[in-house]
Amino acid sequence: MSDVLTSLFRDNTMWLGVFETVYLTLLSTALAYVIGLPLGVLLCTTDRGGLTPVPWLNKLLGGIVNIFRSIPFLILMVAFLPVAKAIVGKTYGPAAMVVMLVIAAAPYIARMVESSLKEVDAGVVEAAKSMGASAFQIVRKVYLPEAKPSLIVGAVIGMVTVLGYSAMASTINGGGLGQIAIFYGYNNFKDDVIWMCVFFTVIIVQIIQEGGMLLARRTDKRISKNKKSKKLFLRR
């Protein structure tokens, strides 16, 4: 272990980097869902064959989402520095990075939400319609509950993607493990610092992945029904 890596642990810089990475990932994903979830619902419901088809609105929203999704994150980050400054008052640091991550992740999340909602059984939706449920009630009581496992899996994918984006924060002093790997590792030719940052990043990803998939399995009605049927069978 090099003196640089030892000092990073001694003065808690490494642990601060881990905290900032987790903070950036969780906060940015949560804020991105505030935008991406309703946008994904609109993309699903306004599509042809949706609850309230509005083709022109669907094409407009879809076009905006596709434009933002097609911009590489590094370019998008540089291009939207003035937006970050207008919102948080500066163009560097974790706060500015959150703005960039939300702008980049929200369109991606919107498409995943749209895809998850379209997987809901059409028969369940038609049954709700026949009972006189409004479009809002169908979205709230049918689409979202039925698509919950898929939405959770999408959230896991979204968080891992945001975590990958956050590693590029080092280019604007955004903090986190990415900045430590570049500033203390790459610039000082300290491979052990770089690999320690890689190690902590892998650990964070694994925790997100395993926790999210466990939650998705527990909320999946099909799995719970199979477990109940197996218990009944064994009792017999």
pLDDT tens per residue across span 116-154: 998 888 888 888 888 888 888 888 888 888 888 889 998
pLDDT at position 195 is 92
Residue 193 corresponds to which tokens in the numbers above? 């610092």
Residue 235 has pLDDT above 70, yes or no: no
| 28 close to 163: Cβ distance less than 8 angstroms | no
Using an 8 Å Cβ cutoff, are 173 and 92 in contact? yes
Work out the burial of residue 48: count CB atoms within 10 Å of its CB; fewer than 13 is exposed, 13-18 middle, 19 or more buried. exposed
Q: Which CATH superfamily does the domain covering 3-235 fall into?
A: MetI-like (1.10.3720.10)
Could you report how far apart the first and last alpha carbons of the chain are, in Å?
61
Q: How far is CA 125 from CA 143, 186, 212, in A?
A: 8, 54, 27
Q: Taking residues 190-215, report their average pLDDT.
A: 90
Residue 234 has pLDDT above 60, yes or no: no
Q: Which residue's entry shows tokens 């999946």?
A: 220
pLDDT band per the 50, 70, 90 thresholds, residue 232: very low
Q: Tell me how far apart the alpha carbons of residues 2 and 218 are, in angstroms, rounded to a whole number.
A: 44
Is 156 in contact with 125 (CB distance < 8 Å)? no
Q: At what angle do helices 93-118 and 55-70 cross, to 10 degrees?
A: 130
Mean pLDDT of the chain: 85
At position 154, the amino acid (one-letter code) is: G
Q: In 3D, which of 219, 217, 177 has the Cα closest to residue 198?
A: 177
Single-letter amino acid code for the residue at 6: T
What does pTM read for this prediction? 0.83
Amino acid symbol at 31? L
Could you state, in order of their start, the residue ranges of all structural domains in the chain?
Answer: 3-235
90-126: per-residue pLDDT in tens? Answer: 878 788 888 889 999 999 999 999 999 988 888 888 8
